[in-house]
A and B are shown apart, each in its own frame.
Chain A
Amino acid sequence: MRSCRQLRKTWRFDNTKSITGDSDALGLVDIVRKSERGPLDLKDLALDLKPVAGAMPASHAVVRAEELRRVCERAREGYARLVALWGSDETARGAGFALHLALAFPSGILWASVPLAREHPRYPGIADIYPCANRMQRAAYDLLGIHAQDSPDRRKWVRHRAWPGGVFPLRKEFDIASRFPPADDQYPFVKVSGEGVHEIPVGPVHAGIIEPGHFRFSIVGEKILRLEERLCYKHKGIEKRFEALTPEQGARLAGRVSGDSTVAYAWAYAMALEGIGGTEPPVRALALRGILLEMERIANHLGDLGYIGNDVALAFGFFQFWRLKEALLRLNSELFGHRYLMDLVTPGGVARDLQRRQAERLIARLEAIGAEVAALKSIYDEHAGAQDRFIMTGQIAPELAEKMDLAGFAGRASGIRHDLRVDYPAAPWQQIGVQMASHTRGDVAARVSVRFDELFESIRLVQALAAQLPPGEIRVPLAACPAGGRGVGWVEGWRGEVLVAVETAGENRIHRVHPHDPSWQNWPLLERAVLGNIVPDFPLINKSFNLSYSGQDL
């Protein structure tokens, strides 16, 4: 029998010339270059920048389509990362379409808008410069029909069978009541051929109660040669729905983009609206938002640390962490009136105040939960069986993480030191200072370690914020949003940076809302993290990221 090493030479990735699941299969990632001059400032781009008002530093610029690639290349060389890419229909404003990019520079976010023609809207694709843009470009095409030229991957992404090709639901002319017979659903996965190679299709319906996603493994024996994801099985039309709402009504919807990040989305949405109208939320409200955001972070890390234990059959860890998560959710319910903290962050402030006695109770309960987590951490750390499963499993090296813009705590576990609370310390973070957790190994163990560190830091932050809540109001009325207003909300959610970009229309309406989840950036890296690992380790690797299906399938 030939060894695996000899077999490797015979594996081929078929039809990569016509399509690729991720840009790196073409070697595009290697094109990415870094300038030796160090970080680039926004001003160096020679664009006509207009400041976007709001809590986070942001500017807007109009970029012509022919200049798009030059801007992106300069930005990439200058260490700017792509946060989001989306499109919009500008026909109601007498123009054609537009492509929007959010690029994160050290001095703030650049919102670049590229005007596109009404007929055959197209722009030069940037997936070779920013590999994470690939799926966003495909989604923008499926929803709006704006086409990325010279893109190696022209497959659909969001569209399944709900609407046929050539119909673009996010266009203003699209009637929300339209119904179509189920369209065909041809989706060419990249085939791997060779001796002993076979495919395992998993999902979209899984044995556990989780969100739907299809995973196509190409394996030889137990070793994973390639994983390809197909997501977006539950398109909900959230972006379309926003356009039928007033800005205030949109707050509830924003809080439901991804249920586990409801505070992050609601805050980002509120931040964008407050920027547009020039509303200053009271300092007490900002401190309370900080508490809510960190409570969300603690709850999610508790749940996932339990799941990670469950995936290595350490049921003890699973039940202990979930007991603690339940205790935390009940505390949320008791103090804030909702277990998952929905609808508490509202434009202009927060919906509920925290009394002195309640704050003391919050501090005391978190102290107790923190002590229990510390005990569980030492059990995880010293459990030889669990550590053997964690260490060197699902590794993403820092170089790859940087090339593909790995976001959030997963990025921090792979040496990408970005945390909005630290990089752009707006209120309430500037007063208390956030310690960034980080690790460089990028494996499951590193992500577990970063999760533990962030959990303890969040407990500290909540306690610090609750101990000295500034006096005053918790809510001010939201100033009217003028037509043509533009606002950015940018919040470090538990999974990573959540961006909500809002454009308003006249008569107190929304022109366009794009909520962006960090899962867009991280899903493609999950495909990379499993390479060379064995099939039974996939659930563990997957759970160490725990990405949102809903957040990137609006």
Chain B
Amino acid sequence: MADTPGIAFQILQSVFVVLAAPLLLGWANQCRAWLQNRSAPSILLPYRTLAKLFHKDAVIAKNASALFRLTPYVVFGCMWLAAGIVPVLATDLPFAPAADIIALVAVFALARVFSALAAMDIGTSFGGLGARREMLIGFLAEPAMLMTLFTAAFISGSTQFNTIVETLGNREFAIDPSLAFAAAAFLMVALAENARIPIDNPTTHLELTMIHEAMILEYSARHLALIEWAVAIKLFAYVSIGIALFAPWGIAEAGNWSALPLAFAALAVKLTLAGAGLALVETLLAKLRLFLAPEFLSTAFLLAVLGMLTHFLTQG
């Protein structure tokens, strides 16, 4: 399986995701600006922000431990790994069998744990506040995420992403109620996991309301750049998971170079729609009161469970 074209595809996808991820963020920001009747910033703004941050000198608190310095690399590494596992351009990647959907959720969880530890490492009250809130969101979002993925796993009979995508991508088009439930649940979890409205507000400057931003307040320069970049990759990875599970058409098989242009085109269209959709959701909704977040996520969990039950009902 680990043949040369496969490895080439793997490298191509991993590099592509890391490079393209800020573009998706830039596009979503652009759409949001248009929806708010503003003239939009350049779609390349996230790249410029990263470049700017990489050129600055890092400021680190005196009492920061090695954990604080290490975390940005761990978080970035986790997201990059996730981007290698999720089938974005092609299925059957040589790297994919290394982790199934459960391991993928664990990779995200690892990044979360490191972020929270680093946030508490400095000992500022905002770091602790953010870490606490992040954990509140995380421990509710992860089961809901797993349930969503399980629905797809039951349909395809495997927890391997490759099998799931191949099964779902190569069958006739039919509206599957269990997948519809799972899709709704996934959308809610994805918003929460990526610190988007209605759970968190990525553009706020109000320290007291922050969740994810509160954890990274103490980071600067290259560390902040890595975290911001990881945030973009995470969003990209989640959108890719959504596409792989609920709209996998057009994806190439590893090694099949001729299918690659179509795969790129299909992905571009889907990402464009997803970015615009995200902007629409973020414009229409207000942020929930923090203590409504558990309700929001338990609704997602409930929908995911319903999806699973529906699967068993319809399959007899």
Interface positions of A (Cβ within 8 A of B) = 198-202, 206-208, 222, 311-316, 319-320, 323, 383, 385-386, 388-389, 534-539
Q: B126 on the interface (CB 8 Å rule)?
A: yes
Q: Which residues of B contact A207 (CB under 8 A)?
A: 205-207
Query: Shortest distance in angstroms between A305's beta carbon and chain B's nearest beta carbon?
Result: 14
**Leading 10 A-B pairs by shortest Cβ distance:** A385-B286, A313-B287, A313-B201, A536-B209, A539-B206, A200-B125, A207-B205, A312-B286, A208-B205, A314-B286
Query: Shortest distance in angstroms between B215's beta carbon and chain A's nearest beta carbon?
Result: 14
Q: In the complex, what distance in Å separates the CA atom of A534 from the CA atom of B132?
A: 14
Query: Shortest distance in angstroms between B298's beta carbon and chain A's nearest beta carbon?
Result: 17
| Contact status B36-A385, CB under 8 Å | no
Could you tell me how many residues of chain B have their Cβ less than 8 Å away from some Cβ of chain A? Answer: 29
Q: In the complex, what distance in Å separates the CA atom of A323 from the CA atom of B204?
A: 19
| Contact status A534-B286, CB under 8 Å | no
Query: Shortest distance in angstroms between B29's beta carbon and chain A's nearest beta carbon?
Result: 11
For this complex, 13 residue pairs linking A to B, each with C-beta atoms less than 8 Å apart, are: A198-B125, A200-B129, A313-B198, A313-B286, A319-B36, A319-B38, A320-B37, A323-B37, A385-B288, A388-B286, A388-B292, A535-B208, A536-B209
Q: B231 on the interface (CB 8 Å rule)?
A: no
Known interface pairs A200-B129, A316-B36, A319-B36; A386-B286 also in contact (CB < 8 Å): yes
| Contact status B283-A315, CB under 8 Å | yes
Q: Which residues of A contact B129 (CB under 8 A)?
A: 200, 535
| Contact status A385-B37, CB under 8 Å | no
Q: B93 on the interface (CB 8 Å rule)?
A: no
Q: B197 on the interface (CB 8 Å rule)?
A: yes
Query: Shortest distance in angstroms between A225's beta carbon and chain B's nearest beta carbon?
Result: 15
Q: Which residues of B contact A316 (CB under 8 A)?
A: 35-36, 283
Q: In the complex, what distance in Å separates the CA atom of A207 from the CA atom of B203?
A: 12
Mark interface residues in B287-298 (1 if CB within 8 Å of A CB, else 0). Answer: 111111000000
Query: Shortest distance in angstroms between B8's beta carbon and chain A's nearest beta carbon?
Result: 43
| Contact status B209-A202, CB under 8 Å | no
Q: B32 on the interface (CB 8 Å rule)?
A: yes
| Contact status A538-B205, CB under 8 Å | no
Q: In the complex, what distance in Å separates the CA atom of A315 from the CA atom of B202?
A: 12
Contact of A202 among B36, B38, B207 (CB under 8 A): B207
| Contact status A383-B289, CB under 8 Å | no
Q: Which residues of B contact A538 (CB under 8 A)?
A: 208
Cβ-closest chain A residue relative to B291: A534
Q: Which residues of A contact B133 (CB under 8 A)?
A: 222
Q: B1 on the interface (CB 8 Å rule)?
A: no
Among A198, A201, A539, chain B packs the most CB atoms within 10 A around the CB of: A539
Mark interface residues in B258-292 (1 if CB within 8 Å of A CB, else 0). Answer: 00000000000000000000000011011111111
Query: Shortest distance in angstroms between B89's beta carbon and chain A's nearest beta carbon?
Result: 33
Q: In the complex, what distance in Å separates the CA atom of A135 from the CA atom of B203?
A: 36
Among A202, A316, A389, A538, chain B packs the most CB atoms within 10 A around the CB of: A316
Q: In the complex, what distance in Å separates the CA atom of A200 from the CA atom of B265?
A: 50
Query: Shortest distance in angstroms between A21's beta carbon and chain B's nearest beta carbon?
Result: 19
Mark interface residues in B218-258 (1 if CB within 8 Å of A CB, else 0). Answer: 00000000000000000000000000000000000000000
Q: In the complex, what distance in Å separates the CA atom of A535 from the CA atom of B209?
A: 7
Q: Which residues of B contact A383 (CB under 8 A)?
A: 286
Query: Shortest distance in angstroms between B286's beta carbon and chain A's nearest beta carbon?
Result: 3
Q: In the complex, what distance in Å separates the CA atom of A513 from the CA atom of B23?
A: 58
Query: Shortest distance in angstroms between B294's beta carbon and chain A's nearest beta carbon?
Result: 12
Query: Shortest distance in angstroms between B129's beta carbon and chain A's nearest beta carbon?
Result: 7
Q: In the complex, what distance in Å separates the CA atom of A198 from the CA atom of B38?
A: 41
| Contact status A534-B289, CB under 8 Å | yes
